[in-house]
Amino acid sequence: MPPSSIWISAGEISGDLHGAALLQALRRNSSGLPQALRRNEPALRLMGMGGPAMRSVDGFESFFRVEQLSVMGFTEVIGQLPKILRLLGDIEKKMKQERPQAVVVIDAPDFHFRLIKAARRLNIPVYYYISPKIWAWRQGRAEFIRKHVRRLISILPFEVDFYRRFGMEVDYVGNPLLDALDLPALDQIAPQPGRIGFLPGSRRREVSALMPEFGLAAQALLAARPDLKFCCARAPGLGEDFLRSFWPQNLPLELFEPEERYPAMRACEMLIAASGTVTLETALMGIPTLIAYKMSSLSFGLAKRIIKVPFVGLPNLIAGREIFPELLQGEADGAKLARKALEWLSPRPGGRGLPEVRADLAELRKQVGTAGATDRAAALILADLASTCPN
C-alpha cells in the first residue's frame, strides 16, 4: 500500500507562502493520524504545485511550479488561457497517476475552480484553504463551492457571516500571518524617521505598472522632504535589474531581499504598496501604508462593475472603514501618491498623521485574533481525512 498522500496547490506567490506553512503544519500534526493512514513511512506524502517557499520545505514533491501562473487582472488572464488549460490537463494526468487521498487548494479561484473540477472527476475530496474572495465579486460561485468542496477554511473573520447567507458553514481558523510574523521581535524594531518603503508587487505586470509611479512619487517626496530615503522589497523571481529599470537612475534606492523583507519593512516610517496580502502584513506589523494598484483599462472597467465591497484593502475590509488610503488606477499616480504620503509625514494641525494611523493598527491587530491558524487548519484537514478512512 503506498504512503498516504495529500496534493497541495498554490496558484500565486502569496499562496505559496501560506502553502509552505501549511506543509510544515501537516507534518507536525500527522503523527496523530490513525494507523490506517500510516502504513508506510513517511507517515504523510505531500506533493503538488508550489513556489519557492513550498519547494524549500523538506519532503514536498513539487511536480508543477507556481511561477507558471504569474498573470494578473481579468483580460490579462484571457491571453494566458491556452497555457493555463494545458497546465491543468497535465496536473489532472499527474493526479490520476498519483491518486492522492485529498487535494488542498489555496486561494486563486480562477485557476483552482478548474482544478477542483479535475479532482472531483477523479473522486478526490477537496479542501479549500484560504477561502476565495467571492464576497468581493462573483458571489454566485458560492454554489460551486458548496457543491464541490468538502471543507472551506477561512482566515478572515467577516467571511463567516458572508458564507452563512448561502447556507454554508465555514471553518474559521484565524489568520496565518500571525504565525509567519514574529510580531514581538518586529515590535522591537523602531521605524527610522524619513525611511520610505515601496512594495510594487510580485508579478512583473504589477511592477511595470506601479514602479514608474513609485519613482515619480519618490522624486516629488524628495523635493518636499530632502531628508527622505527610499527602499524597495524584491519579490521572489524578480531580478534587481528588472526593478531598477523602472526607477529614476539618479535617485538612490536600497533593495532588500525577500527573506529580509519583514525587518526591513518594519524599519520604514511608512510604505507605499501594491494591493494584496502584503497590506495585511504591514497592518499587523503596525506600518502605515498607502495602497496602490493599476491594471488595464478594460480590466478596471469590468472590476468597477462587478466588485461588491467598499474597499480592496484587507485591513480596511476587516476594520469596516478606511485605515489605509486606496489609490487605484488613475489615482495611483506619482504626484497623488506623494501628496497623500505627505499628509501623513507632515500633517496639518488637527490632521491624521502617522501616530494616529499606528493607533488604529494596534486595534486592528487585536481584531484579527491569535496565532496558531495554520496548525488549526492542518489538524482540521487531517482529522476530517481520518474520519473518512476505513479502519
Looking at the structure, tell me whether residues 107 and 253 fall in a common domain.
no
Which of 70-74, 127-131, 144-148, 376-380 is predicted least confidently?
70-74
Looking at the structure, tell me whether residues 289 and 150 fall in a common domain.
no
| Span 276-301, average pLDDT | 86
Tell me which residue has cell 471553518: 171
Q: Is the pLDDT of residue 265 over 80?
A: yes
Looking at the structure, tell me whether residues 297 and 333 fall in a common domain.
yes
Q: How confident is the model at residue 2 (pLDDT cuts 50, 70, 90)?
A: very low
Looking at the structure, tell me whether residues 147 and 222 fall in a common domain.
no
Q: Please, what is the average pLDDT of the chain? A: 87
Residue ranges making up the domain that contains 27: 5-176+372-387
Q: Is the pLDDT of residue 42 over 60?
A: no
| Span 129-136, average pLDDT | 76
Extract the runs of DSSP E, i.e. beta strands, from 216-268: 229-233, 254-256
Looking at the structure, tell me whether residues 105 and 27 fall in a common domain.
yes
Q: Is the pLDDT of residue 3 over 60?
A: no
| Span 141-154, average pLDDT | 90
Closest CA to 232 of 208, 206, 260: 260
Yes or no: say if 54 and 19 are a contact pair by the CB < 8 Å rule: yes
Looking at the structure, tell me whether residues 104 and 245 fall in a common domain.
no
Distance between CA atoms of residues 290 and 56, nearest Å: 32
Position 306 scores a pLDDT of 58
Looking at the structure, tell me whether residues 85 and 124 fall in a common domain.
yes
Position 300 scores a pLDDT of 60
Q: Is the pLDDT of residue 74 over 90?
A: no
Looking at the structure, tell me whether residues 208 and 353 fall in a common domain.
yes
42 cis-preceded (ω within 30 degrees of 0): yes
Reported pTM: 0.74
Q: Is the pLDDT of residue 34 over 60?
A: no
Number of residues in the chain: 391
How far is the first Cα of the chain from the last one, in angstroms, to the nearest whole number? 14
Q: Is the pLDDT of residue 75 over 90?
A: no
**CATH at 289:** 3.40.50.2000
**Residues with Cβ < 8 Å from 141, sequence gap 6 or more?**
109, 113, 132, 134
Q: How confident is the model at residue 100 (pLDDT cuts 50, 70, 90)?
A: very high
Looking at the structure, tell me whether residues 226 and 158 fall in a common domain.
no
Looking at the structure, tell me whether residues 326 and 356 fall in a common domain.
yes
Query: What's the structural domain count of the chain?
Result: 2
Q: How confident is the model at residue 389 (pLDDT cuts 50, 70, 90)?
A: low
| Span 117-126, average pLDDT | 96
Position 24 scores a pLDDT of 94
Looking at the structure, tell me whether residues 278 and 298 fall in a common domain.
yes
Tell me which residue has cell 484593502: 313
Position 4 scores a pLDDT of 84
Q: Is the pLDDT of residue 139 over 80?
A: no
| Span 7-36, average pLDDT | 83
Looking at the structure, tell me whether residues 377 and 362 fall in a common domain.
no
